[in-house]
Protein backbone atom coordinates (compact mmCIF):
# COMPACT_ATOMS: atom_id res chain seq x y z
CA UNK A 1 0.00 0.00 0.00
CA UNK A 2 1.23 3.50 -0.82
CA UNK A 3 1.90 5.70 2.19
CA UNK A 4 0.55 8.96 0.79
CA UNK A 5 1.55 11.15 3.71
CA UNK A 6 5.10 9.84 3.54
CA UNK A 7 5.26 10.38 -0.21
CA UNK A 8 3.92 13.92 -0.05
CA UNK A 9 6.80 14.83 2.27
CA UNK A 10 9.15 14.27 -0.68
CA UNK A 11 7.53 16.98 -2.83
CA UNK A 12 8.62 20.54 -1.94
CA UNK A 13 5.92 22.24 -4.02
CA UNK A 14 3.14 20.27 -2.34
CA UNK A 15 4.59 21.04 1.09
CA UNK A 16 5.06 24.74 0.42
CA UNK A 17 1.78 25.60 -1.32
CA UNK A 18 -1.90 24.88 -0.78
CA UNK A 19 -2.50 23.81 -4.36
CA UNK A 20 -4.52 20.69 -5.07
CA UNK A 21 -2.64 19.50 -8.12
CA UNK A 22 -4.81 17.40 -10.45
CA UNK A 23 -3.09 18.09 -13.76
CA UNK A 24 -0.63 15.21 -13.76
CA UNK A 25 -1.33 14.13 -17.34
CA UNK A 26 0.23 17.44 -18.39
CA UNK A 27 3.23 17.21 -16.06
CA UNK A 28 3.99 15.86 -12.61
CA UNK A 29 5.56 17.43 -9.55
CA UNK A 30 9.17 16.58 -8.70
CA UNK A 31 10.36 14.82 -5.54
CA UNK A 32 13.36 16.13 -3.66
CA UNK A 33 15.34 13.06 -4.76
CA UNK A 34 15.11 14.17 -8.39
CA UNK A 35 15.87 17.80 -7.59
CA UNK A 36 18.91 16.82 -5.55
CA UNK A 37 20.20 14.43 -8.22
CA UNK A 38 20.21 17.26 -10.78
CA UNK A 39 21.78 19.70 -8.32
CA UNK A 40 24.45 17.17 -7.35
CA UNK A 41 25.41 16.62 -10.99
CA UNK A 42 25.96 20.33 -11.58
CA UNK A 43 27.69 20.75 -8.23
CA UNK A 44 30.02 17.73 -8.36
CA UNK A 45 30.18 16.06 -11.77
CA UNK A 46 29.48 18.70 -14.42
CA UNK A 47 31.39 17.83 -17.59
CA UNK A 48 30.60 16.69 -21.10
CA UNK A 49 30.21 12.99 -21.77
CA UNK A 50 32.22 10.78 -24.15
CA UNK A 51 34.72 13.58 -24.71
CA UNK A 52 37.26 13.50 -21.95
CA UNK A 53 39.65 11.05 -20.31
CA UNK A 54 39.65 13.05 -17.09
CA UNK A 55 37.69 12.02 -14.00
CA UNK A 56 34.82 14.50 -14.27
CA UNK A 57 34.00 13.48 -17.82
CA UNK A 58 34.20 9.80 -17.00
CA UNK A 59 31.95 10.22 -13.95
CA UNK A 60 29.41 12.22 -15.98
CA UNK A 61 29.48 9.54 -18.68
CA UNK A 62 28.85 6.78 -16.12
CA UNK A 63 25.88 8.64 -14.66
CA UNK A 64 24.38 9.33 -18.08
CA UNK A 65 24.80 5.74 -19.23
CA UNK A 66 23.37 4.49 -15.93
CA UNK A 67 20.24 6.49 -16.75
CA UNK A 68 19.84 4.55 -20.00
CA UNK A 69 20.29 1.30 -18.08
CA UNK A 70 17.67 2.20 -15.46
CA UNK A 71 15.12 3.21 -18.08
CA UNK A 72 15.77 0.00 -20.01
CA UNK A 73 15.12 -2.09 -16.89
CA UNK A 74 12.01 -0.02 -16.12
CA UNK A 75 10.34 -0.89 -19.44
CA UNK A 76 11.91 -4.38 -19.64
CA UNK A 77 13.96 -3.61 -22.75
CA UNK A 78 16.39 -6.21 -23.99
CA UNK A 79 19.33 -3.84 -23.76
CA UNK A 80 20.09 -0.26 -22.70
CA UNK A 81 21.37 0.33 -26.25
CA UNK A 82 17.69 0.33 -27.31
CA UNK A 83 16.99 3.42 -25.18
CA UNK A 84 17.45 6.74 -26.97
CA UNK A 85 17.11 9.97 -25.03
CA UNK A 86 15.22 12.82 -26.69
CA UNK A 87 13.63 16.05 -25.45
CA UNK A 88 10.16 14.57 -25.00
CA UNK A 89 7.58 12.25 -26.54
CA UNK A 90 6.94 14.69 -29.37
CA UNK A 91 10.57 14.79 -30.46
CA UNK A 92 10.89 11.02 -30.12
CA UNK A 93 7.93 10.43 -32.45
CA UNK A 94 9.14 13.02 -34.95
CA UNK A 95 12.63 11.49 -35.04
CA UNK A 96 11.14 8.04 -35.56
CA UNK A 97 8.76 9.15 -38.30
CA UNK A 98 11.53 10.90 -40.22
CA UNK A 99 13.92 7.99 -39.84
CA UNK A 100 11.36 5.44 -40.99
CA UNK A 101 10.48 7.63 -43.97
CA UNK A 102 14.07 7.37 -45.18
CA UNK A 103 14.34 3.59 -44.99
CA UNK A 104 11.02 1.84 -44.50
CA UNK A 105 8.23 3.91 -46.06
CA UNK A 106 7.86 4.30 -49.83
CA UNK A 107 5.40 5.84 -52.24
CA UNK A 108 2.11 3.96 -52.24
CA UNK A 109 2.58 2.51 -48.78
CA UNK A 110 0.10 3.00 -45.94
CA UNK A 111 0.33 4.45 -42.44
CA UNK A 112 -2.47 3.85 -39.94
CA UNK A 113 -3.19 6.23 -37.07
CA UNK A 114 -6.22 6.57 -34.79
CA UNK A 115 -8.79 9.25 -34.08
CA UNK A 116 -7.75 9.29 -30.41
CA UNK A 117 -4.09 10.11 -31.08
CA UNK A 118 -2.44 13.10 -29.43
CA UNK A 119 -1.26 15.61 -32.04
CA UNK A 120 2.30 14.39 -31.35
CA UNK A 121 1.45 10.95 -32.73
CA UNK A 122 -0.76 12.27 -35.50
CA UNK A 123 0.92 15.22 -37.18
CA UNK A 124 4.35 13.63 -37.83
CA UNK A 125 2.81 10.75 -39.77
CA UNK A 126 0.64 13.04 -41.90
CA UNK A 127 3.65 15.24 -42.67
CA UNK A 128 5.77 12.21 -43.58
CA UNK A 129 2.96 10.97 -45.80
CA UNK A 130 2.98 14.27 -47.69
CA UNK A 131 6.51 13.97 -48.98
CA UNK A 132 6.66 10.19 -49.30
CA UNK A 133 3.30 10.11 -51.11
CA UNK A 134 2.00 7.63 -48.60
CA UNK A 135 -1.65 7.01 -47.79
CA UNK A 136 -2.83 7.66 -44.23
CA UNK A 137 -5.78 5.75 -42.77
CA UNK A 138 -7.52 6.78 -39.55
CA UNK A 139 -9.06 4.18 -37.23
CA UNK A 140 -12.13 5.23 -35.27
CA UNK A 141 -13.64 3.41 -32.30
CA UNK A 142 -17.08 2.13 -31.44
CA UNK A 143 -19.13 2.44 -28.28
CA UNK A 144 -16.60 0.07 -26.67
CA UNK A 145 -14.15 3.00 -26.71
CA UNK A 146 -11.10 0.75 -26.45
CA UNK A 147 -9.02 -0.12 -29.51
CA UNK A 148 -8.03 -3.74 -30.09
CA UNK A 149 -6.51 -5.67 -32.98
CA UNK A 150 -9.96 -6.40 -34.43
CA UNK A 151 -10.47 -2.67 -35.05
CA UNK A 152 -7.53 -2.73 -37.50
CA UNK A 153 -8.21 -5.99 -39.34
CA UNK A 154 -10.41 -4.50 -42.05
CA UNK A 155 -8.09 -1.53 -42.59
CA UNK A 156 -4.70 -3.18 -42.73
CA UNK A 157 -3.15 -4.45 -45.96
CA UNK A 158 0.12 -5.75 -47.38
CA UNK A 159 1.09 -2.11 -48.05
CA UNK A 160 0.70 -1.10 -44.40
CA UNK A 161 4.09 -0.13 -43.05
CA UNK A 162 3.31 1.61 -39.74
CA UNK A 163 0.51 1.56 -37.19
CA UNK A 164 0.67 4.31 -34.56
CA UNK A 165 -1.61 4.57 -31.55
CA UNK A 166 -1.67 5.70 -27.92
CA UNK A 167 -1.28 3.10 -25.20
CA UNK A 168 -3.59 5.28 -23.08
CA UNK A 169 -5.68 8.11 -24.49
CA UNK A 170 -4.82 11.42 -22.82
CA UNK A 171 -8.51 12.41 -23.15
CA UNK A 172 -10.50 9.23 -22.60
CA UNK A 173 -8.15 7.52 -20.17
CA UNK A 174 -8.85 4.26 -22.00
CA UNK A 175 -6.12 1.60 -22.03
CA UNK A 176 -5.85 0.24 -25.56
CA UNK A 177 -4.99 -3.40 -26.20
CA UNK A 178 -1.70 -2.74 -27.97
CA UNK A 179 -0.56 -6.37 -27.80
CA UNK A 180 -3.47 -7.52 -29.97
CA UNK A 181 -2.76 -4.64 -32.38
CA UNK A 182 0.90 -5.72 -32.55
CA UNK A 183 -0.19 -9.20 -33.63
CA UNK A 184 -2.30 -7.80 -36.46
CA UNK A 185 0.47 -5.42 -37.53
CA UNK A 186 3.15 -8.10 -37.63
CA UNK A 187 1.01 -10.41 -39.73
CA UNK A 188 1.57 -8.04 -42.67
CA UNK A 189 5.09 -6.93 -41.71
CA UNK A 190 4.01 -3.56 -40.33
CA UNK A 191 5.66 -1.85 -37.36
CA UNK A 192 3.73 -0.82 -34.27
CA UNK A 193 4.56 2.59 -32.78
CA UNK A 194 3.12 3.24 -29.32
CA UNK A 195 2.72 6.62 -27.65
CA UNK A 196 3.41 5.73 -24.04
CA UNK A 197 3.29 9.24 -22.58
CA UNK A 198 0.25 8.35 -20.44
CA UNK A 199 1.06 4.70 -19.75
CA UNK A 200 4.73 4.42 -18.76
CA UNK A 201 4.34 6.84 -15.80
CA UNK A 202 1.20 5.15 -14.49
CA UNK A 203 1.33 1.38 -14.95
CA UNK A 204 3.80 -1.46 -15.53
CA UNK A 205 4.96 -1.49 -19.16
CA UNK A 206 6.91 -4.43 -20.57
CA UNK A 207 7.88 -3.78 -24.19
CA UNK A 208 8.79 -7.41 -24.80
CA UNK A 209 5.56 -8.80 -23.37
CA UNK A 210 3.54 -6.30 -25.40
CA UNK A 211 5.48 -7.31 -28.56
CA UNK A 212 5.57 -3.71 -29.81
CA UNK A 213 8.32 -2.24 -31.99
CA UNK A 214 8.65 1.35 -30.73
CA UNK A 215 7.64 3.25 -27.61
CA UNK A 216 7.90 6.97 -26.81
CA UNK A 217 7.41 8.72 -23.47
CA UNK A 218 8.41 11.82 -21.50
CA UNK A 219 10.39 12.22 -18.28
CA UNK A 220 8.44 15.19 -16.95
CA UNK A 221 5.22 13.15 -16.81
CA UNK A 222 6.85 10.62 -14.47
CA UNK A 223 8.48 12.80 -11.77
CA UNK A 224 11.49 13.66 -13.95
CA UNK A 225 12.61 17.04 -15.29
CA UNK A 226 11.39 18.67 -18.48
CA UNK A 227 13.53 18.42 -21.58
CA UNK A 228 14.16 14.67 -21.39
CA UNK A 229 12.19 11.97 -23.18
CA UNK A 230 12.69 8.46 -24.45
CA UNK A 231 12.44 6.66 -27.76
CA UNK A 232 12.70 2.92 -27.31
CA UNK A 233 12.96 0.65 -30.31
CA UNK A 234 13.88 -2.92 -31.12
CA UNK A 235 17.63 -3.07 -31.58
CA UNK A 236 17.48 -4.99 -34.85
CA UNK A 237 15.32 -2.26 -36.39
CA UNK A 238 17.24 0.68 -34.90
CA UNK A 239 20.52 -0.72 -36.25
CA UNK A 240 19.06 -0.56 -39.74
CA UNK A 241 17.54 2.92 -39.49
CA UNK A 242 19.40 6.12 -40.40
CA UNK A 243 19.70 9.03 -37.96
CA UNK A 244 17.98 12.33 -38.70
CA UNK A 245 20.19 14.59 -36.58
CA UNK A 246 23.84 14.91 -37.56
CA UNK A 247 26.84 16.29 -35.68
CA UNK A 248 29.04 15.41 -32.75
CA UNK A 249 29.08 12.05 -30.99
CA UNK A 250 26.72 10.32 -33.42
CA UNK A 251 29.62 9.23 -35.65
CA UNK A 252 32.69 7.06 -35.24
CA UNK A 253 34.53 8.64 -38.15
CA UNK A 254 34.06 11.26 -40.85
CA UNK A 255 36.25 11.27 -43.96
CA UNK A 256 36.15 14.13 -46.45
CA UNK A 257 37.93 13.67 -49.77
CA UNK A 258 38.80 17.23 -50.69
CA UNK A 259 39.43 16.56 -54.39
CA UNK A 260 35.95 15.13 -54.93
CA UNK A 261 34.17 16.52 -51.84
CA UNK A 262 32.99 12.99 -51.14
CA UNK A 263 31.96 12.55 -47.51
CA UNK A 264 32.07 9.15 -45.83
CA UNK A 265 30.39 8.66 -42.44
CA UNK A 266 30.60 5.71 -40.08
CA UNK A 267 27.79 6.02 -37.55
CA UNK A 268 28.30 5.47 -33.84
CA UNK A 269 26.86 2.52 -31.95
CA UNK A 270 23.37 2.58 -30.46
CA UNK A 271 21.96 4.62 -28.83
CA UNK A 272 24.49 7.38 -29.61
CA UNK A 273 23.77 7.19 -33.36
CA UNK A 274 20.47 8.93 -32.58
CA UNK A 275 21.76 11.31 -29.87
CA UNK A 276 23.63 13.95 -31.82
CA UNK A 277 25.49 16.73 -29.99
CA UNK A 278 25.73 17.37 -26.29
CA UNK A 279 22.65 15.78 -24.73
CA UNK A 280 20.60 16.84 -21.73
CA UNK A 281 22.94 15.11 -19.29
CA UNK A 282 21.35 16.57 -16.17
CA UNK A 283 17.91 15.67 -17.50
CA UNK A 284 18.95 12.07 -18.03
CA UNK A 285 20.32 11.88 -14.49
CA UNK A 286 17.12 13.42 -13.14
CA UNK A 287 15.06 10.88 -15.08
CA UNK A 288 17.20 8.10 -13.61
CA UNK A 289 16.37 9.34 -10.10
CA UNK A 290 12.67 9.50 -11.00
CA UNK A 291 12.68 5.93 -12.32
CA UNK A 292 14.38 4.69 -9.14
CA UNK A 293 11.76 6.52 -7.06
CA UNK A 294 8.89 4.87 -8.95
CA UNK A 295 10.57 1.47 -8.78
CA UNK A 296 10.77 1.73 -5.00
CA UNK A 297 7.02 2.31 -4.86
CA UNK A 298 6.22 -0.27 -7.53
CA UNK A 299 4.27 0.44 -10.68
CA UNK A 300 1.51 -1.97 -9.74
CA UNK A 301 0.97 0.09 -6.60
CA UNK A 302 0.99 3.33 -8.61
CA UNK A 303 -1.66 1.91 -10.94
CA UNK A 304 -3.77 0.58 -8.07
CA UNK A 305 -3.68 3.89 -6.20
CA UNK A 306 -4.78 5.88 -9.24
CA UNK A 307 -7.63 3.48 -9.96
CA UNK A 308 -8.79 3.74 -6.35
CA UNK A 309 -8.88 7.51 -6.70
CA UNK A 310 -10.72 7.28 -10.01
CA UNK A 311 -13.26 4.85 -8.57
CA UNK A 312 -13.86 7.21 -5.67
CA UNK A 313 -14.16 10.20 -8.02
CA UNK A 314 -16.79 8.42 -10.12
CA UNK A 315 -18.70 7.60 -6.95
CA UNK A 316 -18.66 11.24 -5.84
CA UNK A 317 -19.53 12.47 -9.33
CA UNK A 318 -22.61 10.21 -9.31
CA UNK A 319 -24.03 12.65 -6.74
CA UNK A 320 -24.24 15.21 -9.57
CA UNK A 321 -26.52 12.89 -11.57
CA UNK A 322 -27.23 14.22 -15.07
CA UNK A 323 -25.32 17.47 -14.57
CA UNK A 324 -21.99 15.86 -15.41
CA UNK A 325 -21.05 13.91 -18.53
CA UNK A 326 -17.96 11.74 -18.53
CA UNK A 327 -15.88 10.96 -21.60
CA UNK A 328 -14.69 7.42 -22.16
CA UNK A 329 -15.54 4.05 -20.64
CA UNK A 330 -16.63 3.55 -17.05
CA UNK A 331 -15.18 0.02 -16.94
CA UNK A 332 -12.34 0.28 -14.40
CA UNK A 333 -10.40 -2.54 -16.06
CA UNK A 334 -10.00 -0.38 -19.17
CA UNK A 335 -9.20 2.94 -17.49
CA UNK A 336 -6.19 4.78 -16.17
CA UNK A 337 -6.27 7.41 -13.43
CA UNK A 338 -7.51 10.11 -15.78
CA UNK A 339 -10.99 11.55 -16.13
CA UNK A 340 -12.35 14.04 -18.65
CA UNK A 341 -15.79 15.51 -18.08
CA UNK A 342 -18.14 18.38 -18.85
CA UNK A 343 -20.76 20.12 -16.75
CA UNK A 344 -24.09 20.96 -18.29
CA UNK A 345 -24.30 24.59 -19.49
CA UNK A 346 -20.71 25.39 -18.45
CA UNK A 347 -17.77 26.00 -20.74
CA UNK A 348 -14.77 23.84 -19.68
CA UNK A 349 -12.61 26.94 -19.22
CA UNK A 350 -15.21 28.45 -16.89
CA UNK A 351 -15.16 25.27 -14.81
CA UNK A 352 -11.35 25.22 -14.68
CA UNK A 353 -11.23 28.90 -13.76
CA UNK A 354 -13.75 28.35 -10.99
CA UNK A 355 -11.74 25.44 -9.60
CA UNK A 356 -8.59 27.54 -9.73
CA UNK A 357 -10.19 30.01 -7.29
CA UNK A 358 -10.23 27.10 -4.84
CA UNK A 359 -6.57 26.33 -5.62
CA UNK A 360 -7.53 23.24 -7.59
CA UNK A 361 -5.38 22.80 -10.70
CA UNK A 362 -7.02 20.96 -13.61
CA UNK A 363 -6.75 21.17 -17.39
CA UNK A 364 -9.37 22.52 -19.79
CA UNK A 365 -9.54 22.53 -23.57
CA UNK A 366 -8.80 20.06 -26.36
CA UNK A 367 -5.71 18.49 -24.75
CA UNK A 368 -3.85 18.38 -28.08
CA UNK A 369 -6.47 16.02 -29.52
CA UNK A 370 -8.78 18.24 -31.56
CA UNK A 371 -9.75 15.59 -34.16
CA UNK A 372 -11.01 13.39 -31.32
CA UNK A 373 -13.21 16.14 -29.93
CA UNK A 374 -14.66 16.88 -33.35
CA UNK A 375 -15.40 13.17 -33.76
CA UNK A 376 -17.17 13.22 -30.38
CA UNK A 377 -19.11 16.37 -31.31
CA UNK A 378 -17.62 18.46 -28.51
CA UNK A 379 -16.81 21.95 -29.77
CA UNK A 380 -15.29 23.32 -26.56
CA UNK A 381 -13.24 20.39 -25.32
CA UNK A 382 -13.53 19.19 -21.74
CA UNK A 383 -12.21 19.48 -18.22
CA UNK A 384 -9.55 16.90 -17.38
CA UNK A 385 -8.61 15.61 -13.94
CA UNK A 386 -5.55 13.36 -13.72
CA UNK A 387 -4.10 11.70 -10.62
CA UNK A 388 -0.70 10.58 -9.42
CA UNK A 389 0.99 8.98 -6.43
CA UNK A 390 0.63 12.01 -4.14
CA UNK A 391 -3.08 12.68 -4.65
CA UNK A 392 -5.65 11.86 -1.98
CA UNK A 393 -9.37 11.21 -1.56
CA UNK A 394 -9.66 14.42 0.44
CA UNK A 395 -8.49 16.28 -2.69
CA UNK A 396 -11.23 14.51 -4.66
CA UNK A 397 -13.72 15.68 -2.04
CA UNK A 398 -12.47 19.24 -2.46
CA UNK A 399 -12.88 18.95 -6.22
CA UNK A 400 -16.45 17.66 -6.02
CA UNK A 401 -17.45 20.17 -3.34
CA UNK A 402 -16.14 23.01 -5.50
CA UNK A 403 -18.08 21.73 -8.51
CA UNK A 404 -21.22 21.54 -6.39
CA UNK A 405 -20.80 25.16 -5.34
CA UNK A 406 -20.47 26.11 -8.97
CA UNK A 407 -23.68 24.27 -9.75
CA UNK A 408 -25.38 26.05 -6.87
CA UNK A 409 -26.04 22.87 -4.93
CA UNK A 410 -24.12 23.85 -1.86
We report the CATH number of the domain holding residue 325 as 3.90.1150.10
49 CB burial (10 A radius; 0-12, 13-18, 19+): buried
Among the three residues 237, 267, 295, which one is the final residue of a domain in this structure?
Answer: 295
Average pLDDT over residues 264-282: 96
pLDDT digits (tens, 9 = 90+) for 197-245: 999 999 999 999 999 999 999 999 999 999 999 999 999 999 999 999 9
> Which comes out higher in pLDDT, residue 349 or 51?
349
- 288: number of Cβ within 10 Å: 25
Among the three residues 295, 316, 336, which one is the final residue of a domain in this structure?
Answer: 295
pLDDT digits (tens, 9 = 90+) for 59-97: 999 999 999 999 999 999 999 999 999 999 999 999 999
Residue 158 shares a structural domain with residue 307: no
Tell me the pLDDT of the chain averaged across its residues.
96
Residue 203 shares a structural domain with residue 116: yes
pLDDT reading at 282 higher than 90: yes
Residue 307 shares a structural domain with residue 289: no
Residue 310 shares a structural domain with residue 286: no
Indicate if 288 belongs to the active site.
Answer: no
CB 2, CB 307: distance < 8 Å:
no
- Among the listed residues 368, 376, 378, 407, the single catalytic one is 368
Query: Could you tell me the pTM of the whole model?
Result: 0.96
Residue 191 shares a structural domain with residue 92: yes
pLDDT band of 333, cuts 50, 70, 90 = confident
CB 323, CB 407: distance < 8 Å:
yes
> Which pLDDT score, from 0 to 100, does residue 334 have?
84
Domain that includes residue 182, residue range? 33-295
Report phi then psi at 118, rounded to 5: -60, 150
- What is the distance between the alpha carbons of residues 282 and 288, in angstroms, rounded to a whole number? 10
pLDDT reading at 355 higher than 80: yes
Total domain count for the chain? 2
DSSP state of 335: B
Residue 176 shares a structural domain with residue 258: yes
Residue 100 shares a structural domain with residue 181: yes
Among the three residues 295, 318, 347, which one is the final residue of a domain in this structure?
Answer: 295
Residue 86 shares a structural domain with residue 21: no
Question: Which of 44, 76, 88, 77 minimizes the C-alpha distance to 63?
Answer: 44
pLDDT digits (tens, 9 = 90+) for 305-332: 999 999 999 999 999 988 999 999 888 7
Residue 217 shares a structural domain with residue 312: no
> Which pLDDT score, from 0 to 100, does residue 257 have?
93
Residue 303 shares a structural domain with residue 332: yes
Q: Which of the residue ranges 29-33, 115-119, 258-262 would you say has the lowest mean pLDDT?
A: 258-262
pLDDT reading at 128 higher than 90: yes
pLDDT band of 364, cuts 50, 70, 90 = very high
- What is the distance between the alpha carbons of residues 212 and 231, in angstroms, rounded to a whole number? 13
- CATH at residue 181: 3.40.640.10
Residue 20 shares a structural domain with residue 46: no
Residue 283 shares a structural domain with residue 382: no
Cβ neighbors of 408 (< 8 A, separation 6 or more) are: none
In this structure, is the dihedral angle defined by the CA atoms of residues 318, 321, 324 and 326, taken in order, positive or negative?
positive
Average pLDDT over residues 361-368: 98
> Which pLDDT score, from 0 to 100, does residue 409 have?
64
Amino acid sequence: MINIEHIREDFPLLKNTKVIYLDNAATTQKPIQVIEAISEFYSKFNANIHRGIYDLSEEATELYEEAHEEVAKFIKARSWEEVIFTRNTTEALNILALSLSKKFIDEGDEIIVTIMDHHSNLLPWFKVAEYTKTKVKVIKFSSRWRLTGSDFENCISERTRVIALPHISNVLGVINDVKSVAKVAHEVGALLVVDGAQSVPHMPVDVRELEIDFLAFSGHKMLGPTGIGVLWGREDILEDLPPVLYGGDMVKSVLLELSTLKLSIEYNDLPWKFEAGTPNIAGGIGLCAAVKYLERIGMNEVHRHERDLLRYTLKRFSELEDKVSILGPLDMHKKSGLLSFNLSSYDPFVVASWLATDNIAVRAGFHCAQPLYKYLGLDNGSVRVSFYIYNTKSEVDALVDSVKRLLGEK
